[in-house]
């Protein structure tokens, strides 16, 4: 397990200063990765642990205030891609609670601040903390006039056009009695099923796949092309507000009920609670429902219900004193690493996959998890930084598996104390697992460093790469041949019937050839009708758009967009082929022409 950090009481001021500075840098980098790049580098649990330590040191060493200034910033600076919108009321963050004690402290702080007698009641709302991205919608005379992301809390990105494509966001507020100005705030999110479908489409198109639904929601909302946002079924729950000309209720729960009346989706799991015990009971109940909600939540938010009390309580730095987020523990479990398989992708990239003794993580049985790449197994991160305090991952190790918001489970750590005697570092293959045993290479990246990715150098000789190429060729965004999916491709490949794309189009003729003993309809699982249907669907694809053909070739770096550009630029297969041959032969002019396409 991770080495325990030095107790804060044992830190000298100099050590505390050094650690504060380092923690501030790590948190800042994590904020940028998470908010600005939609590509988190830390799990939520790891981030929270850093932040807790940062805050604890800061409290113990109040003189080091200047170093601690980063704590006043929320999120990351808005990106340059979008116009900016200054929030009329800042969009704030929430403090976190991690235990029942923290919740009890929160309630006690509020009672003390308000000077309430022991028996005086205070009501709270408790509702799921949606793991998406917050959005502020401004309505004037009932009409949606702008939508802004949180950005740095003061200024966000103008995503009005994109927000208009979200079904849960009304363009006009419902009802006769709407406030002159109303800023409704809430969370944009993506449901699990829609996330999985989006990633399948992205993968088939050779585009970036998203790490989790939150990133996918953020990436979908922060699009320069609103048609892309519109094609992704984002949801929105309203739970807060910014500027309002006249409040519609005297309580938090009343305001949220009013949002529902105005036409917004509000979360059905919001409850009013009168005590710490009720808050925690509702937290437990939401936690039990978490796996079946169909969208990601990462905790429960408690808010003082009466708005006059919220006003009296006010804010501390970046968060309201009247609210707190009670976070769920990360979904982790211990299990044993029974094997490491190497998968070879279309481009030859070797990906290690952990075969695990099956274990339930957050309600889902996990038996495979990603190990990312050779460096990750050895204990190094993307930029060569040390991971897991240098612990490598070995066969037979007891490991910690995590299913955070991330859909692909990952091995995050090793219990070093349980390592078997004689366990050796994993020898990452230097040859491809296929029968050709081709050498594996690490190429240089554009910056001249060695890439993390090891590739089989066999290209079209490697059967793994050939199968993956064929699968890509028939995928939905390429030739889209019905009845010829991944399973059938592997089958035909193994039987030697389809070894390259052109074989698909001679399959019928070969099947009908006199003397053919390998008739498809004689294979198990292929009746006469299904064979006829397959031939028919292949025949409908004898002519397709040039862009699909180019994309279907599965060249590295040629996703759907590039394929469209090339198809538009060259117009015909022969012109494209001629240009490719010239570029390959080192023709500088042809290369410049190709580079100039856009
Ligand atoms: S209330 C002034 N309620 O969590 C407080 N926030 O960590 C406004 N979030 O920025 C926030 N679900 O993006 C609130 N039910 C909920 C929430 C929620 C998700 C997000 C929101 C906020 C962040 C704070």
DSSP labels, 486-523: HHHHHHHHHTTS-SSHHHHTTHHHHHHSTT----GGGS
Going by CA atoms, what residue is nearest to atom 9 of ligand 1? 129
Atom 15 of ligand 1, residue of closest alpha carbon? 129
Of 187, 238, 293, 313, best ligand 1 pocket probe by most atoms within 8 Å of the beta carbon: 187
Name the residue of 134, 183, 213, 313 whose CB sits within 8 Å of the most ligand 1 atoms, as the mutation to test its pocket: 134
Q: Measured in angstroms, how far is the CA atom of residue 63 from the centroid of ligand 1?
A: 31
Whether the pTM exceeds 0.75: the reply is no
Nearest-angstrom CA–CA distance, 551 and 564: 8
- With a CB cutoff of 8 Å and minimum separation 6, the contacts of 587 are none
Question: CB of 152 closer than 6 A to ligand 1?
Answer: no
Compute the distance from residue 95 Cα to the ligand 1 centre, in Å: 10
Q: Is the CB of 323 under 6 A from ligand 1?
A: yes
220 close to ligand 1 (CB < 6 Angstrom): no
Q: What is the pLDDT of residue 79?
A: 60
Cα 387 to chain centroid distance, Å, stands at 21
Cα 574 to Cα 39, 581, 595: the distances in Å are: 40, 11, 18
**Please, which residues have CB within 8 angstroms of residue 408's CB and are 6 or more apart in sequence?**
369, 370
User: Is the CB–ligand 1 distance for residue 325 below 6 Å?
Assistant: yes
Please give the pLDDT value at position 78.
55
Helices (H) and strands (E) in the chain, counts: 20, 20
Number of neighbours of residue 110 by Cβ within 10 angstroms: 21
Measured in Å, residue 567 CA sits from the centre of ligand 1 at 45
Query: Pocket of ligand 1, candidates 51, 135, 188, 301: which has the most ligand atoms within 8 Å of its Cβ, to mutate?
Result: 301
Give buried/exposed letters for 119-155 (b at 16+ CB in 10 A, else e): eeebbbbbbbbbbbbbbbbbbeebebebbbbbbbbbb
State if residue 239 touches ligand 1 by the CB under 6 angstroms criterion: yes
pLDDT at 454: 86
- How do 235-244 and 181-189 pair as beta strands? antiparallel
Phi/psi at 45 (nearest 5 deg)?
Answer: -65, -40
CB of 358 closer than 8 Å to CB of 376: no
CB of 92 sitting under 6 A from ligand 1: yes
pLDDT at 398: 95
The CB-side HSE value for 587 (13 A sphere, CA atoms) comes to 12
Give the ligand 1 atom nearest the CA of 319: 2
Half-sphere exposure (CA, 13 Å, Cβ side) for 39? 4
Helix (H, G, I), strand (E, B) or coil at 352: strand
Distance CA 405, CA 542 (A): 42
Rounded distance from Cα 128 to ligand 1 centre (Å): 9
332 touches 361 (CB < 8 A): yes
CA 94 – ligand 1 centroid, Å: 7
pLDDT in tens, the chain (598 residues): 334 577 888 887 767 776 777 777 677 767 666 655 666 667 667 777 778 888 888 878 776 665 555 444 445 555 667 999 999 999 999 999 989 999 999 999 999 999 999 889 999 999 999 999 999 999 999 999 999 999 999 999 999 999 999 999 999 999 988 999 999 999 999 999 999 999 999 888 888 888 788 999 999 999 988 899 999 999 999 999 999 999 999 999 999 999 999 999 999 999 999 999 999 999 999 999 988 899 999 999 999 999 999 999 999 888 999 999 999 876 788 999 999 999 999 989 999 999 999 887 765 678 999 999 999 999 998 888 899 999 999 999 999 998 765 457 899 999 999 999 999 999 999 999 988 899 998 877 666 677 778 889 888 889 999 999 999 999 988 999 988 988 899 999 999 999 999 999 999 999 999 989 888 988 888 888 889 999 999 999 999 999 999 999 998 889 888 999 999 999 999 999 999 999 999 999 999 999 888 7
- Ligand 1 pocket, residue 129 CB under 6 Å: yes
Interval between CA 321 and ligand 1 midpoint (Å): 13
Contacts of 118 (CB under 8 A, 6+ apart): none
269 CB near ligand 1 (under 6 Å): no
Please report the atom of ligand 1 found closest to the CA of residue 323.
5
Most distant CA pair in the chain, distance: 96
What is the reported pLDDT for 581? 92
CA distance linking residue 309 with residue 51, whole number of Å: 28
306 lines ligand 1 (CB under 6 A): no
Rounded to an integer, what distance in angstroms lies between the CA atom of residue 362 and that of residue 367? 13
Cα–Cα distance measured from residue 501 to residue 505, given in angstroms and rounded to the nearest whole number:
8
DSSP conformation class of 449:
S
Q: Report the nearest atom of ligand 1 relative to the CA of 74.
A: 10
Atom of ligand 1 nearest to the CA of 128: 15
Ligand 1 centroid from CA 133, angstroms:
9
Q: What is the 134 CA–ligand 1 centroid distance (Å)?
A: 7
Residue nearest atom 6 of ligand 1, based on CA coordinates: 129
Expressed in angstroms and rounded, the spacing between residue 171 Cα and the centre of ligand 1 is 23
Q: What is the structure's pLDDT at 73? A: 45
Give 129 Cα–ligand 1 centroid separation in angstroms: 6
Q: Whose CA is nearest to atom 1 of ligand 1?
A: 240
> Which residue's alpha carbon is nearest to atom 22 within ligand 1?
93
By annotation, the residues acting in catalysis are: 129
**Which residues does 574 contact at the CB level (< 8 Å), separation at least 6?**
none
Task: Please name which of 190, 186, 185, 187 lies closest in space to residue 202, comparing C-alpha atoms.
Answer: 190
Residue nearest to atom 12 of ligand 1 (CA): 129
The CA 319 to ligand 1 mean position distance, Å, reads 10
Q: Count CB-CB contacts under 10 A for residue 365.
A: 8
Ligand 1 atom nearest to 303, measured from its CA: 1
Q: Best mutation site among 35, 94, 128, 213 for ligand 1, i.e. most ligand atoms within 8 A of its Cβ?
A: 94
Q: pLDDT at position 142, please?
A: 96
Asked whether 127 lines ligand 1 (CB < 6 A), one says yes
Beta carbons within 8 Å of 51's beta carbon, 6+ residues apart:
27, 96
């Amino acid at each position: 397990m991770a080495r325990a950090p030095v107790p804060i009481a044992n830190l000298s001021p100099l050590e505390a200063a050094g650690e504060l500075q380092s923690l501030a840098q790590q948190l800042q980098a994590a904020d940028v990765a998470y908010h600005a790049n939609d590509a988190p580098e830390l799990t939520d649990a790891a981030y929270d642990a850093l932040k807790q330590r940062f805050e604890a040191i800061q409290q113990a060493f109040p003189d080091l205030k200047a170093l601690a200034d980063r704590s006043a910033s929320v999120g990351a600076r808005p990106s340059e891609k979008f116009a900016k919108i200054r929030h009329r009321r800042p969009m704030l963050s929430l403090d976190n609670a991690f235990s029942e004690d923290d919740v009890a402290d929160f309630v006690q702080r509020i009672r003390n601040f308000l000077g309430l007698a022991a028996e005086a009641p205070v009501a709270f709302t408790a509702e799921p903390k949606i793991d998406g991205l917050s959005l502020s919608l401004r309505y004037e005379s009932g009409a949606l006039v702008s939508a802004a992301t949180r950005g740095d809390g003061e200024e966000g990105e103008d995503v009005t056009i994109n927000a208009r494509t979200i079904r849960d966001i009304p363009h006009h507020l419902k009802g006769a009695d709407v406030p002159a100005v109303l800023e409704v705030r809430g969370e944009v999110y993506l449901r699990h099923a829609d996330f999985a479908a989006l990633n399948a489409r992205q993968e088939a198109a050779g585009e970036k796949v998203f790490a989790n639904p939150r990133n996918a929601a953020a990436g979908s909302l922060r699009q320069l092309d609103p048609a892309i946002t519109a094609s992704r079924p984002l949801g929105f729950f309203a739970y807060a507000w910014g500027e309002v000309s006249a409040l519609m209720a005297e309580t938090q729960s009343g305001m949220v009920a009013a949002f529902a009346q105005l036409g917004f989706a509000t979360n059905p799991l919001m409850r009013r609670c009168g005590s710490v015990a009720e808050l925690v009971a509702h937290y437990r109940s939401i936690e039990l429902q978490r796996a079946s909600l169909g969208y990601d939540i990462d905790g429960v938010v408690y808010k003082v219900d009466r708005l006059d009390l919220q006003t009296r309580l006010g804010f501390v730095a970046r968060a309201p004193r009247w609210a707190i987020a009670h976070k769920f523990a990360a979904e982790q479990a211990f299990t044993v690493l029974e094997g490491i398989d190497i998968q070879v992708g279309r481009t030859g990239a070797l990906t290690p996959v952990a075969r695990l003794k099956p274990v339930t993580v957050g309600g889902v049985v996990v038996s495979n998890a990603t190990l990312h790449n050779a460096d990750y197994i050895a204990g190094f991160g993307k930029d060569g930084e040390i991971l897991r305090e240098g612990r490598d991952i070995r066969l037979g190790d007891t490991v910690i598996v995590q299913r955070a918001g991330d859909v692909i489970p990952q091995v995050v750590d090793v219990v070093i104390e349980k390592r078997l005697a004689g366990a050796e570092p994993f020898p990452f293959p230097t040859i491809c697992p296929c029968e050709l045993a081709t050498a594996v290479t690490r190429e240089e990246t554009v910056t001249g460093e060695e890439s993390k990715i090891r590739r089989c150098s066999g290209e079209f000789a490697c059967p793994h790469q050939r199968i993956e190429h064929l699968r890509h060729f028939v995928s939905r965004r390429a030739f889209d041949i019905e009845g010829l999916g991944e399973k059938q491709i592997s089958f035909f490949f193994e039987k030697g019937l389809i070894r390259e794309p052109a074989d698909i189009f001679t399959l019928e003729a070969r099947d009908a050839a006199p003397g053919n003993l390998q008739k498809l309809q004689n294979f198990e699982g292929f009746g006469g009708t299904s064979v006829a249907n397959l031939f028919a669907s292949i025949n409908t694809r004898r002519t397709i758009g040039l862009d699909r053909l180019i994309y279907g070739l599965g060249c590295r770096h040629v996703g759907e967009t590039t394929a469209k550009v090339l198809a538009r630029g060259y117009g015909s297969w022969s012109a494209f082929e001629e240009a490719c041959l010239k570029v390959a032969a080192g023709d500088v002019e042809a290369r410049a022409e190709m580079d100039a396409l856009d």
